Structure 1
Amino acid sequence: MVVLGGGPGGYEAALVARRLGADVTVVERQGLGGAAVLTDVVPSKTLIATAEWLTIAERAPELGIRTGGDRPAVDLSAVNARVLALAAAQSADIRGRLEREGVELVAGTGRLDGPSRVVVAPEGGAREVVLDADTVLVATGATPRTLPTARPDGERILTWTQLYQLDALPERLVVVGSGVTGAEFAGAYQALGSDVVLVSSRDRVLPGEDEDAAELLEGVFRARGMTVMSRSRAQSAERTADGVAVTLADGRVVEGTHVLIAVGAVPSTRGIGLEEAGVALSESGHVQVDRVSRTTARGVYAAGDCTGVLPLASVAATQGRTAMAHALGDAVAPLQLGTVAANIFTAPEIATVGYSERRLQEQGSRYVTTTLPLARNPRAKMLGMRDGFVKLFAHPEAGVVLGGVVVAPRASELVFPITLAVAHRLTVDDVADSFTVYPSLSGSIAEGARVLHARDRERVV
């Protein structure tokens, strides 16, 4: 087995393949863990965790805690040093685990030379290495999308991979793009102390998420002093004498000290021999795969962001594990996207799983729903939490839990009971009959299930 890419899809696949007895080589040019560990998930969530402490500190006065009145000072250089150190440590842990399992690691850039051969160009111009393979897994990930009129320079015009090189907090940060990445960094830097302007080409932030959750988060952003510019498409960004100027499509100019371009990602699939090997790519450049990660070329599989299935590390890892299990004849379950839990690491966080309300409405499904404000939860009251809610969707007759949304601090931890319910087709009665700790935030999930049990079944959406 030869794995192109050492991110979650690649290294998880390698571990599965080794346990099933295969000889495995992983080709990685950036470092083990890939972008997820080195420049994306681990660094961004570490930065956000630091910012979270400052949002918690905002609640101190209402909890009866007296402070000196001065806002805590943020040493961004120290913050970023910690961010990068943790990413490097995680990468080293992954390397150590792969080496202990007997996986061969090759540093360099790989390309396919047909469906059963990989050619690696090592760093430094050394002689190419040729690897023959019974099976190849492509897990090359994606890179930040840029605008031709806003070329990142790593100093003032930045992608999210370049933010960790800053040694001082941006005085005024313009964030272009209000999707998940844009919203997360906008919220984090606002909490750290930057004046943030969020430029959104859509009607609201997080246009692809639950409407109630997105509306709540935008309200929180505005209440904390962030400027949110809706229906404002960025046309270009250029350096000025002491900062940047972002020109919008309608001619308005937004000035700042720095600008973050967060307008999506581009799959890293071009120029590595995929199409020549018979691997079909979509118009967007993503590798086309089925539910067990097979491509259109025999013996070639793909996993992760290069496939465009769902840009989540958890999905990449599942795709990689599934691919190797299928290739080696082990029992395998096709990928079930309906059971994937996702989280947006803003403050509050937004976690979702199962059917969304939009999808239920678009496909004409009958469902019952309930929304419980977080402010009614006793544990939330004790912790000074006001912004958030728990929303559940269920089948009106069978009572099966169809999906849910949690908006709360650490929603990523709270959504797991709903994930279990969706994955195992539990009913609202199954959830309601399970004990929860009192007081606890998870108590709102059980309470929501009880509401759906008692709700007049004629009130069907």
Structure 2
Amino acid sequence: MVGMTASFQANQSVAILGGGPGGYEAALAAAQLGAEVTLVEQAAVGGAAVLTDVVPSKSLIATADAAVAIRQAGDLGVQLFARGGGGVPLRPEVAINLAAVNRRLLALARKQSDDVRAALEDAGVRIVSGHGRLDGPRAIVVATDAGGTDFERIEADTLVVSVGASPRELPSARPDGQRILTWTQLYDMAAVPEHLVVVGSGVTGAEFAGAYMNLGAKVTLISSRDRVLPGEDRDAAAVLEKVFTRGGMQLLARARAESVVNTGEGVIVTLSDGRTIEGSHCLMAVGSIPNTRGLGLEDAGIQLTESGHIRVNRVARTSVPNVYAAGDCTDFVPLASVASMQGRTAVFHALGDTVIPLERRRITANIFTSPEIATVGFSEQDVVDGRADGVVYKLPLTANARAKMMRITDGFVKVIARTGSGTVIGAVIVAPRASELIYPLAIAIERRLTVDQVSRVFAVFPSLTASITDAARAMHIVDLAG
């Protein structure tokens, strides 16, 4: 902990470039500490996370999960029928009105943006609309009109850059917003695509591939690596591949998309080995690039990586002492929750509040597939590669009574404990709402609890959380001394 008491620096001014999670959380924190705060945002408050990324995408996934729940309700004895001619019952089909779904989720995004703006205004934050760039290390210049003729110069003691990132585009597969799409352009589709080809099997590709499969689309997922989610837990990826295959998805591993062409009535995806795949639409999910070009960062002395990301330390400080950065534009972990924490940490450090430097091993992450995949701390691969000295235990959810009641057939709880002490140092949960279930294990890592301490906490019976205590209890009999 960086020891700074509540002797906040009075009469400080903070200017923030970018209104995404890192930016608006920094603004709220600065206002709470009594600073004069100005937030510059070109589009709408909330940034891409609220408008085109996290909020709408997870809303779409929630709709897909609801469709699956309806289809599978018969397995629990719940059957839907309509009366046909002569009183004969008919089984109705689940229909997806994608245009209505997209209207709803975009409305949710706008409402969330409005709520964030209202919170900022209530806190006394001044919001300036326009395209901003740094003018040295202590000022932001904002073009406040579309023509770029009206400017406002905002000087501040502390600057926070939180400009996010945009979808990466390939020259041979330029998104057109019609057939070849980035994840920001999916919400204009009026109907579920007949055949969606997804290029990229990372988190974004896997999430949308699973969602559109569950909405009823035929889906082909192209991975340049040997499996889906190549950077994630291998057991978790194997579960997801099994679910995808069972749902009818075609998985193409070790396949690289060379080009994508819009034929007018569909798309043709050509692979590097010469094979072609025809579909109705193509989603390009090949990563993102930071929105740092043309912002005057290097002229202000701020160091960037070769990829254009802003170099920051564990308190989100850049190479320039009074300039901080948060979110996907930095070289830290690209998660909305991390951006928020970076924004708050930056302001706390700048204004003299107590600061706990960010640590990668304490960050929880979640992949919103069905089932979800949540992780925290060291991975099993870290143990295998010698980066962590630990013992790994995996408990399938099929052993859990609540899972049986809910007909959950896929998933597990995996706990990693340090050899000798039994301290929890990592975890993976694959389950419905894994994003909620991972929290107690995140607390265990944060507070350095042992598996025995976790196992002694009462879990409701029956509950999915009981699998956490069951796994911890099982590790008591493991020879942690090696």
Q: Distance in 2 between matches of 1:242 and 1:258?
A: 9
1:25 to 35, 38, 41: 38
Q: What pairs with 1:239-254 in structure 2 (closer than 5 Å)?
A: 239-254=262-277
2:377 counterpart of 1:377: no
Decide whether the 8 Å contact of 2:144 with 2:150 is kept in 1.
yes
SS in 2 for 1:275: coil
Q: What pairs with 1:143-292 in structure 2 (closer than 5 Å)?
A: 143-292=166-315
Q: Which amino acid aligns with 1:29?
A: Q
Q: Distance in 2 between matches of 1:347 and 1:302?
A: 33
- Count, aligned residues: 459
Greater shift in the superposed pair: 396-405 or 274-283: 396-405
Q: What pairs with 1:372-411 in structure 2 (closer than 5 Å)?
A: 372-411=395-434
Q: Which amino acid aligns with 2:434?
A: A
Q: Distance in 1 between matches of 2:399 and 2:92?
A: 31
Q: Distance in 1 between matches of 2:333 and 2:476?
A: 33
Q: Distance in 2 between matches of 1:45 and 1:35?
A: 13
Q: Which amino acid aligns with 2:130?
A: G
Q: Distance in 2 between matches of 1:245 and 1:364?
A: 43
Q: Distance in 2 between matches of 1:156 and 1:365?
A: 45
Q: Which amino acid aligns with 2:187?
A: Y
Decide whether the 8 Å contact of 1:393 with 1:404 is kept in 2.
yes
Decide whether the 8 Å contact of 2:16 with 2:162 is kept in 1.
yes
SS in 2 for 1:352: strand
Distance 1:239 1:327, change over 3 A: same
Deviation at 1:364, TM superposition (A): 4.8
Q: Distance in 2 between matches of 1:301 and 1:124?
A: 28
Decide whether the 8 Å contact of 2:137 with 2:159 is kept in 1.
yes
Same amino acid, percent of matched pairs: 58
Decide whether the 8 Å contact of 1:59 with 1:384 is kept in 2.
no
* 2:73 aligned residue: 60
Decide whether the 8 Å contact of 2:71 with 2:94 is kept in 1.
no
* 2:126 aligned residue: 104
Q: Distance in 1 between matches of 2:331 and 2:138?
A: 23
Deviation at 1:169, TM superposition (A): 1.1
* 1:87 aligned residue: 109
SS in 2 for 1:413: helix
| TM-score normalised per structure 2 | 0.94
* 2:375 aligned residue: 352
2:324 to 281, 298, 301: 301
SS in 1 for 2:36: coil
SS in 2 for 1:276: coil
Q: Which amino acid aligns with 1:374?
A: L
Q: Distance in 1 between matches of 2:325 and 2:216?
A: 41
Decide whether the 8 Å contact of 2:378 with 2:388 is kept in 1.
no
Distance 1:290 1:190, change over 3 A: same
Q: Deviations over 1:215-273 (max 9, x none)?
A: 11011100100001000000110111410001100011111000000000000001110
Q: Distance in 2 between matches of 1:457 and 1:450?
A: 13
SS in 1 for 2:373: strand
Superposition RMSD in Å: 1.0
Runs (5+) with no aligned partner, structure 1: none
* 1:333 aligned residue: 356
Decide whether the 8 Å contact of 1:108 with 1:122 is kept in 2.
yes
SS in 1 for 2:299: helix
Decide whether the 8 Å contact of 2:207 with 2:369 is kept in 1.
yes
Greater shift in the superposed pair: 12-21 or 360-369: 360-369
SS in 2 for 1:213: helix
2:53 counterpart of 1:40: yes
Q: Distance in 2 between matches of 1:442 and 1:166?
A: 38
